[in-house]
Amino acid sequence: MDNNKNNNYLILGLTAVAFFGMGYMTNNILGGGKANTSAARQALDNPNAVANANNSPIKPMDANNPNTVKTDPALATKMEFAESAFDFGTLKEGEKVSHVFKFKNTGDKPLTIANAVGSCGCTVPQYPKEPIMPNAEGEIKVEFDSKGKEGKQSKTVTITANTEPAQTVLTVNSEVIKLAGKDDKKSK
């Protein structure tokens, strides 16, 4: 009976450690902790406006929903894309394609992209990690892997930056056709 009691305490202790560890990681991923800062992101035109735990330019709006964010108005800038959607056309299932979305910082503050996330694992964005200065241009490359897909596809990339609104959505579309003889063979 003592072994069962000790096992229960061990499980409870490990659960508590995991819970607090997840809270620490979430805090740092959302920019609330110093682990998510870099010297480049701190180099805003106001030397007192350092992106750290106390005054990150991008903060969660709602603690219960970390996907809603806002930008500190004093650090906000503007970003304009040449296009916000791209159609790859018809693809054969398994093809990997990519498209580059070009943008310009049309504001008067350095543009810092905090994150870019695809709507699924098949859509992977690559974005600049260094600040984009006012009037400078940048690119976000979006790769789409059609493996395991069929029919009309519409995938998004959500960009979080020090803009207002803080999130911008890019879209890639395609029609994926399955090749003959490529059906799954489950029984033989």
**Is 17 inside any structural domain?**
no
pLDDT confidence of residue 4: 56
pLDDT confidence of residue 73: 83
Are 52 and 37 spatial neighbours (Cβ–Cβ below 8 Å)? yes
pTM of the entire predicted model? 0.63
**Is 80 inside any structural domain?**
yes
Question: ∠ CA(170), CA(176), CA(180), 5° rounding?
Answer: 165
pLDDT confidence of residue 136: 98
pLDDT confidence of residue 56: 52
pLDDT confidence of residue 72: 80
**Is 4 inside any structural domain?**
no
**Is 184 inside any structural domain?**
no
pLDDT confidence of residue 67: 53
**Is 50 inside any structural domain?**
no
Q: Which domain holds residue 132?
A: 57-177
113: which strand partners?
A: 161
CA distances in angstroms from 111 to 5, 39, 44, 139, listed in the order given: 55, 14, 9, 12
**Number of folded domains in the chain?**
1
**Is 63 inside any structural domain?**
yes
The residues of the chain scoring below 70 in pLDDT are 1-69, 181-188
**Is 128 inside any structural domain?**
yes
pLDDT confidence of residue 32: 42
- Supply the CATH number for residue 83's domain: 2.60.40.10
**Is 66 inside any structural domain?**
yes
pLDDT confidence of residue 119: 95
